[in-house]
Structure 1
Amino acid sequence: MSSRSKDYRRLITSKRWRELRAIKIARNPLCEDCLLDDRATLATEVHHIVPIESAHSISEMERLAFDYTNLRSLCEKCHQKTHERMHSRGKESAKASSERETKRFISKYLD
């Protein structure tokens, strides 16, 4: 998604994230949403319950990104459905993300 910030991309491509993601998938190899419906589907994705980009500072983004309790193992289909329910891929989300990015920039460089 093009609205992803440079800081977000840095976090989710880091070695620390890859290791945490691997731990989450190893500990919870089945989709947590499918399990609620008595289906066993392999998890292929790790979802942040509280989105990283909802943070208003870099330190808060890092806290959310690497907080194991903020993660859910999901299959691709459930991950897509989760984002649809959260409306995290539409115009309003892009606008809110842009506003958060502006606030982070101001906080980092102008405060």
Structure 2
Amino acid sequence: MAKDMEYQQLIHASKWLRLRKLILTRTPLCQRCLAEGRTTAATEVHHIRPVEEAIAFNDKQQRMYDQTNLQALCHDCHVRTHTELGRSGRKATKKRNEKQVKQIIKKFFDGERGEDRGPIF
């Protein structure tokens, strides 16, 4: 899944790597597998509310490091979760990017344009 540069910066930060290690130490078994009656080692940490959907960098940081927004999963469950949420693949990336452009336009430009004006593009 293609991620923006701010996400890349956050996911490679030592603060994230320490938090990831802490989550996997505290929750060594896949939470989804446990809920489905299986016992599998957790190897990945999933952000329940996606970091890349936040617009402002501060919001991305908040989501990245919020422990209540994290879930320990095995690789298979992590992939399955993203697939079920429609957050993997080219179509999902395109849809996510279009949604983010609309959010940015609404946040930064809608209040400044008069109703009688046409689109900004």
Query: TM-score normalised to the size of structure 1?
Result: 0.85
1:85 counterpart = 2:77: no
- Distance apart, 1:57 and its partner CA: 1.0
Instruction: For 1:56 and 1:66, locate their aligned partners in 2 and report how far apart those are by CA, in whole Å.
Output: 16
Identity of counterpart residues, as a percentage?
36
- Residue ranges of structure 2 left out of the alignment (5+ in a row): 109-121
- Residue ranges of structure 1 left out of the alignment (5+ in a row): none
Q: Please say if residues 47 and 72 of structure 1, whose CA atoms lie closer than 8 Å, have aligned partners that are also in contact.
A: yes
Instruction: For 2:101 and 2:44, locate their aligned partners in 1 and report how far apart those are by CA, in whole Å.
Output: 25
- Where 1:69 maps in the other structure, the secondary structure is helix
User: Where does residue 47 of structure 2 map in the other structure?
Assistant: 48
User: Where does residue 9 of structure 2 map in the other structure?
Assistant: 10
Higher RCO (CA 8 Å, separation ≥ 6 residues):
1
Compared CA separation, residues 44 and 101, structure 1 to 2 (3 A): farther
Query: Match for 1:97: what amino acid?
Result: R
User: Where does residue 119 of structure 2 map in the other structure?
Assistant: none
User: Where does residue 22 of structure 1 map in the other structure?
Assistant: 21
Q: Which runs of 4+ in 1 moved over 3 A?
A: none
Compared CA separation, residues 52 and 78, structure 1 to 2 (3 A): same
- Distance apart, 1:37 and its partner CA: 1.6
Query: Match for 2:76: what amino acid?
Result: K
Query: Match for 1:19: what amino acid?
Result: R
How many residues matched? 105
- Distance apart, 1:26 and its partner CA: 0.3
Instruction: For 1:76 and 1:18, locate their aligned partners in 2 and report how far apart those are by CA, in whole Å.
Output: 17
Q: Please say if residues 5 and 101 of structure 1, whose CA atoms lie closer than 8 Å, have aligned partners that are also in contact.
A: no
- Distance apart, 1:92 and its partner CA: 4.2
Higher percent of residues as helix:
1
- Distance apart, 1:96 and its partner CA: 3.9
Instruction: For 1:4 and 1:101, locate their aligned partners in 2 and report how far apart those are by CA, in whole Å.
Output: 14
